Amino acid sequence: MDFFELVKNRRSLRKFSDRRVESRTVEKILEAALTAPSSRNSHSTRFLVVEDKDLIRHMSYMRDYGSAFMAEAPVAVMVMGDKRATDLWVDNCAISATFVQLAAEAAGLGSCWVHVEGREHVKGHPEMGDAESYLRTFLPIPEECGVECVIAMGYSPYEERKPRPEQDNSGKVQWLK
Ligand SMILES: Cc1cc2nc3c(=O)[nH]c(=O)nc-3n(C[C@H](O)[C@H](O)[C@H](O)COP(=O)(O)O)c2cc1C
């Protein structure tokens, strides 16, 4: 598919079919994501691919809002950044995660971003810790890495994809000629 068509058609997917995702497909997606630009070519982004159903279910409890849907995803890719490599690890992660989503789309999968960085485990209860600390209790997240997000992915159960709603982009782009 043409890149512009792909970008136009992409929508976040929060329900997944039972169809298995081959590890080779995920490898291809991550090979593409590893080409993402990074500050000073620091390549600070790290990925943790989770295919274990029980682990993915545990991950879905990371927050009490906005993460439950990922329990049924066949694959979860955690996007992390090596804080020692650059102070812009969050920015690098966001670009890498975007590449993951676009590469997933190109591979025929749907995906959705689940945010981790700076998010509370239970909304309004900072004393309960944050989503990242919760994930660290059962996942091998390197000490030197911060966690930006998880990209949940899988095949769509729908015949057709939701159309992109009309968007008012007036005033969002300025030109100086
Ligand atoms: C930085 C960021 C954080 C997001 N966090 C979540 C999240 O925690 N849970 C969720 O269901 N969707 C999350 N999303 C997905 C957005 O809700 C989604 O991209 C947006 O509603 C637009 O829909 P679309 O992707 O179908 O165009 C996130 C997206 C971004 C870019």
- Average pLDDT on 49-62 reads 98
CA–centroid distance, residue 148 to ligand 1 (Å): 13
DSSP line for the chain:
--HHHHHHH--B-----SPPPPHHHHHHHHHHHTTS--GGG---EEEEEE--HHHHHHHTTSSSSS-GGGGG-SEEEEEEEETTT-TTHHHHHHHHHHHHHHHHHHTT-EEEEEE-TT-BSSTT-GGG-BHHHHHHTTS---TTEEEEEEEEEE--S-SSPPPPPP---TTS-----
pLDDT of residue 89: 98
Best residue among 6, 9, 12, 147 to mutate for probing ligand 1, ranked by most atoms within 8 Å of CB: 12
Q: Give residue limits of the domains in the chain.
A: 13-154
- pLDDT tens for each residue of 76-125: 999 999 999 999 999 999 999 999 999 999 999 999 999 999 999 999 99
Q: Whole-prediction pTM value?
A: 0.97
What pLDDT sits at residue 39? 98
- Per residue in 130-176, pLDDT (tens digit) is 999 999 999 999 999 999 999 999 999 999 888 889 999 999 999 99
Q: What is the pLDDT of residue 163?
A: 85
Pocket lined around ligand 1, Cβ cut-off 6 Å? 11-12, 14, 66-67, 112-115
What's the gap in Å between 177 CA and the centre of ligand 1? Answer: 34
Q: Does domain 13-154 have CATH number 3.40.50.620?
A: no
Is residue 53 scored above 90 in pLDDT?
A: yes
